Structure 1
Amino acid sequence: MKTSKDAPRASLLDYPRPSVAVDTAVLTVADGSLCVLLVRRGEDHRHGRWALPGSFLRERERLADAVLRSLREKAGISGRVPRQLHVFDDPARDDRGWVLSVAHVDVVPLAGLEGALKSDGVRLASVAEEPEVIAGLPYGHAEIVAKAVEWLQAAYVEAPDPGALLDEPFTLKELRDLHEVVAGTSLMRDTFRRFMEPQLAGTGQMSDGTRGRPSRLWVRAGRAE
C-alpha cells in the first residue's frame, strides 16, 4: 500500500508561474504642475506608445537592480533609489499574458531630469492637465500613476517637501505653492504655516523681495547652517 511518503514531490515547475515586471512612476513638478515621466516604447508590442519605464525581471535578478536597469536603459536616468510602491496582480492587466508588476515610485527635482528629457523618447505628462494621456497608458500603468500620486500626496500632508523638489532655502509661500501643486488643491495659509513651521529651520536670512515683500528663508529641519 502506497503512503504519502511514496508520492512524488511536486516541483516548482509543476505550478503555473507569472512573468514579473517592474514599472516605475517618476514624479516631478514642472511649470506648476505635478508630472510623471513617460518613455516611448521601442519594443514590438505597443511600439511607439508612451508608457512608464519598466522591464521584465531577468533570471536571478533582484527587483531593485531591474528597476535601476530599466530607468537607465529606457529613460537615461541613473543614481536614483526608487522605493517599492505596490504589487499590481490583476491577471488581465497585460494582454501578452499573466504578468505581475512590482511598481516603484521616485520623486525627482526637474533639474535632475534635464538630461533624460533631451531625448525625443522621453517626456513629462501633467497628471492634472493631461488625464487622457495618463488614462491611455498601456499595461495598467494609469493605475500605477494614480497609486504613486496618492502616495506622494499623503507624504506631503505630513512633512515639508519630503521629495526635496524645492531648492533650499525657500520661503513659506514657495513651500505652500509646491504643496498645493502636489495636493491638487489650495491650502489654508495659516493652517499650513502652523503645521509646517515646526518642521523647518530658519536661515536668519530674507528673500530679496524681487517677487513681493522680503520673506524669511527656511530649510528643512536639521539642514540649517
Structure 2
Amino acid sequence: MVNEYRDASGKRLVDYPRPSVAVDTAVLTVPPGGPLSVVQVRDAEAGDWRLPGTFVHEGERLAAAVLRSLSEKAGVAGLAPTQLHVFDEPSRDSRGWVLSVAHLDVVPFAALAPGLERAGAQLVPVDDATGMVHGHDDILAFAVARLRTTYAGAPDPHGLLAQPFTISELRAVHEAVLGERLLPDSFRRAMVPMLVDTGERAASGPGKPAARYRRV
C-alpha cells in the first residue's frame, strides 16, 4: 500500500484550503475604422457583460478551459490565446476565493465577427468596457498595457492588418491600438526598416500612389 503524502508538519494535501481556479480571456481586436475593442459576453443569470471565462473542470488543462469558454460563450474558435498573468488577490472575486489565470488573444476583426453575432457576444471599445465583475477590469487593463507595449516598437506584430498594406494603413492600426495620434514622418522612419516593400502601389487615393509593404 502506498503511503499517503504528508508534509513536514504532518498535513495532507487535502488539509489545506484551496481556491477555485478560473480562466478569463481578453480577446482584443480593431474593427475597421474603429478603436481597440474587447470581446464581452453576457452572463445568462446576472445579465451583465464581462470577459469570456469559466472555472477549470477537474482534470482539465488551462488551455482547454480557455478554448471551451471562448467557443461556448463567445462563439469563436481557432484562436491561440497565451497566458497573460495570474490574478490572485484573495478578495478580488465576490463569489469567493478564486484565482484567475488570465489569457490574451489579439485577433483580426474578420476572424471574430461571424461567431460573435451568433453567440450574442459584443465588441466594446476598451475605454468603455468598465464596471465588469470578478476583477475583469483589472484583467483588461493589464492586457491592454501588454498589447500596447508590443505595438510601440514593431509593425503590427499580431497581424491585425491584412497584408500588403500602406504606411498610412499601418499607422491607423497602431493609433487605434495605442489610443493616440502618431506623427506620420516619425512613424514611417521607425517602421520602414522592419518592412519589406512589395513593389506594389495602392490603386486609389489622391496624390502619388502609396507603396505597399509586408511585415518581415
Q: Counterpart of 1:60?
A: 59
Count of residues in Structure 1 that have an aligned counterpart in Structure 2: 209
Query: Is contact 2:73-2:119 (8 Å) kept?
Result: no
- In structure 1, the residue corresponding to 2:105 is in which secondary structure? strand
Amino acid at match of 2:92: R
The 1:51/1:211 distance shift into structure 2, 3 A limit, reads farther
Mapping 1:114-133, distance limit 5 Å: 114-119=113-118, 121-128=120-127, 130=128
Q: CA deviation at 1:209?
A: 2.3
Q: CA deviation at 1:94?
A: 1.1
Query: 5+ residue gaps in structure 1?
Result: none
Q: CA deviation at 1:115?
A: 1.6
- In structure 2, the residue corresponding to 1:59 is in which secondary structure? coil
Amino acid at match of 1:36: V
Residues 1:90 and 2:89 aligned together: yes
Q: CA deviation at 1:121?
A: 2.5
- In structure 2, the residue corresponding to 1:101 is in which secondary structure? strand
Q: CA deviation at 1:114?
A: 1.6
Q: Counterpart of 2:15?
A: 14
The 1:11/1:180 distance shift into structure 2, 3 A limit, reads same
In 2: Cα distance, 1:109 partner to 1:8 partner:
52
Q: Counterpart of 1:168?
A: 163
In 1: Cα distance, 2:206 partner to 2:158 partner:
24
What whole-Å deviation, never above 9, does each CA across 1:158-194 have from its counterpart, x for those lacking one?
Answer: 2100111101110001101110111111112222112
Query: Is contact 2:76-2:116 (8 Å) kept?
Result: no
The 1:212/1:111 distance shift into structure 2, 3 A limit, reads farther
Residues 1:80 and 2:79 aligned together: yes
Q: 1:180 aligns with which of 172, 175, 178?
A: 175
Q: Counterpart of 1:195?
A: 190
Q: CA deviation at 1:10?
A: 1.3
TM-score after normalising by structure 1: 0.88
Q: Counterpart of 1:136?
A: 131
Question: Percent of aligned pairs with the same residue?
Answer: 54
Amino acid at match of 2:21: V
In 1: Cα distance, 2:208 partner to 2:66 partner:
45
* Deviates most, 157-166 or 208-217: 208-217
Residues 1:26 and 2:22 aligned together: no
Q: 2:140 aligns with which of 131, 145, 156?
A: 145
What whole-Å deviation, never above 9, does each CA across 1:69-123 have from its counterpart, x for those lacking one?
Answer: 1111111111111010011111111111100000000001110012222136200
Query: 5+ residue gaps in structure 2?
Result: 1-5
Mapping 1:28-47, distance limit 5 Å: 28-30=29-31, 31-42=33-44, 44=45, 47=46
CA RMSD of aligned residues (A): 1.7
In 2: Cα distance, 1:154 partner to 1:172 partner:
20
- In structure 1, the residue corresponding to 2:18 is in which secondary structure? coil
- In structure 2, the residue corresponding to 1:25 is in which secondary structure? strand
Segments of 4+ in structure 1 off by > 2 A? 209-213
What whole-Å deviation, never above 9, does each CA across 1:9-40 have from its counterpart, x for those lacking one?
Answer: 31111111000000000000124211000001
In 1: Cα distance, 2:206 partner to 2:96 partner:
55
